[in-house]
Structures are given as C-alpha cells and as structure tokens.
Amino acid sequence: MPTAEKPPPEKMMFQLNLRRRGISDQAVLRAMEAIPRDAFVEPSDRRHAYDDTALGIACGQTISQPFVVAYMTEQLQLRGEHRVLEIGTGSGYQAAILSKLCRQVVSIERFRMLADTARKRLKQLHCDNVEVLLGDGFDIPADAGQFDRIIVTAAMVEIPDALTRRLEGGGILIAPVGPHNGVQTLVRLVRTDAGLERKALVDVRFVPALPGIAREL
Ligand code: SAH
C-alpha cells in the first residue's frame, strides 16, 4: 500500500495555529491548506513561508499575515457562485485562496511587476478563475461590472462610494480603514435593503492604498 505523504511539520503547525486563533470555517481551512504560501513569498523568505507573519515582497509591498488572510476570507462568507473583486493583488496569495471558494476573482494591482508575477504564479497553480488586472482600485474599469463580494487588502482612509456602488444587493465588502501609517480597523459592509450596514471587526496593519498606476515597474 502506498504511504500517504505526510505534510511537513511547519504546514501542520500552520493549520493548527489558524484553528487555535479561531478560524473554524472548514472550506476556508481547506483552501489555506491547498495553496502553498511558499510559492508566493520571496525565495529568501521561503523558510518563513508558514510563519504567521506578513513578509516583504517586491515594490516595497507585503504578503499579508496568514491569520488575517484566513480571517478576512471567513468574514466574506463566500459561496461557489460568487464573483469577487480584490483590490491589491500583491503576491497573489489572497487571490489564490479566494479562487478555491468562489466562481470568479477579479484582482486589481497598481504595480505592473506584481501583477505580472502574480498572474504567472496563479497560472502555475491552475487558479484559472482569477483575472489579474493592472489598474487602480480607486478607478475600477467601467466594464468590470458588479460583485457579490469585495475585499480590499490595502489601507483606505475611507471606503469610496465608487467601490460600494459595485456591491450587489446582499453583498459584503471587507476593507482595512484608517490612517496610512498606523493601525487600521477591518470594516465589514453589508448591502441590505435599508442601505449599507457597517461593522468594525479587528485592528490590522496594511500597506496604504495609493491612487493611480505606479510609475516604477
Ligand atoms: N493581497 C496581497 C497583499 C496586498 S499588499 C497578497 O495576498 O499578497 C497591498 C497591495 O495593494 C500592494 O501590492 C499595493 O501595490 C496594492 N495597491 C495599493 N493601492 C492600490 C490601488 N489603488 N489599486 C490597486 N492596488 C493597490
């Protein structure tokens, strides 16, 4: 009988830590298990890929802390038929996790180099339902349409109306809201018949959302 391949201890700890910190959605945990985070970090950081910390990536940006990725994903309450918008592709890791839990992901990144690298990685991992666009999350292409879920992974001082207008009825938006160089609050908006319901979740620290396509690279 072939012996089942045992996951390396750091990957087992990774899953255990997510559960210990309160992630209980089995589909989210499975997605976190299925996507190799080591494929999204800088080669020099591979040995830290399964630590529960954010890590630096190209263009002075970061790949988010795994717990925060899992937590935001859980809060989105994704279903298989959902169309999801991500602002801030970065490494592509969050987009890969989303891709396992919904029908389509459109992810926008303002650095060409990050968008190109993420697109390549996602293709290698067969995350074929993710479309990475070079663009500005503050100026979403008119033809991008409406979304069931929106996840912003860069800090916004306020959530622009242009973004909430893209949210379908019953839709959920999660974004870190607050000052650019400090602590932000993760905010969850739900579009209800009565309007937008707003709830503050936890404190987080994200790199800032900046307007326009980046000039370098
Ligand atoms: N979700 C990423 C982490 C994102 S870090 C991951 O899983 O790795 C935040 C990213 O948002 C950075 O790459 C940054 O360049 C991008 N960003 C900042 N402002 C933006 C904007 N206006 N439009 C699109 N992307 C933006």
pLDDT band with cut points at 50, 70 and 90 for residue 8:
confident
User: Each residue of 142-199: pLDDT tens digit?
Assistant: 999 999 999 999 999 999 999 999 999 999 999 999 999 899 999 999 999 999 999 9
Question: Which are the catalytic amino acids?
Answer: 64
Q: Which pLDDT does position 217 carry in this prediction?
A: 59
Position 66 pLDDT exceeds 80: yes
DSSP H or E segment with residue 153: none
The residue whose CA has the least distance to atom 26 of ligand 1 is 88
Mean of pLDDT values over 70-74: 98
Q: Does some domain include residue 1?
A: no
Q: Does some domain include residue 197?
A: yes
Q: Does some domain include residue 215?
A: no
Summarize the chain as % helix, strand, coil (round to 5).
Answer: 30, 25, 40
Q: Does some domain include residue 216?
A: no
Cα of 114 from ligand 1 centre, angstroms: 9
Q: Which pLDDT does position 9 carry in this prediction?
A: 83
User: Each residue of 73-132: pLDDT tens digit?
Assistant: 999 999 999 999 999 999 999 999 999 999 999 999 999 999 999 999 999 999 999 999
Q: Which pLDDT does position 4 carry in this prediction?
A: 64
Q: Does some domain include residue 213?
A: no
Q: Does some domain include residue 217?
A: no
| CATH number, domain with residue 66 | 3.40.50.150
Is the distance from CB of 23 to CB of 71 less than 8 angstroms?
yes
Q: Which pLDDT does position 181 carry in this prediction?
A: 85
Cα of 3 from ligand 1 centre, angstroms: 41
Q: Does some domain include residue 58?
A: yes
Q: Which pLDDT does position 210 carry in this prediction?
A: 97
Q: Does some domain include residue 35?
A: yes
Maximal CA-CA distance, the chain: 59
Q: Output DSSP code: residue 146.
A: -
Q: At what angle do helices 9-20 and 26-34 cross, to 10 degrees?
A: 150
Q: Which pLDDT does position 216 carry in this prediction?
A: 75
Q: Which pLDDT does position 146 carry in this prediction?
A: 98
Position 2 pLDDT exceeds 60: no
Report how far residue 41's alpha carbon sits from residue 79's, in angstroms, rounded to the nearest whole number.
Answer: 28
| Nearest-atom index, ligand 1, CA of 62 | 5
Q: Quote the domain boundaries for residue 140.
A: 9-204
Number of domains in the chain: 1
User: Each residue of 82-99: pLDDT tens digit?
Assistant: 999 999 999 999 999 999
Cα of 140 from ligand 1 centre, angstroms: 14
The residue whose CA has the least distance to atom 24 of ligand 1 is 109
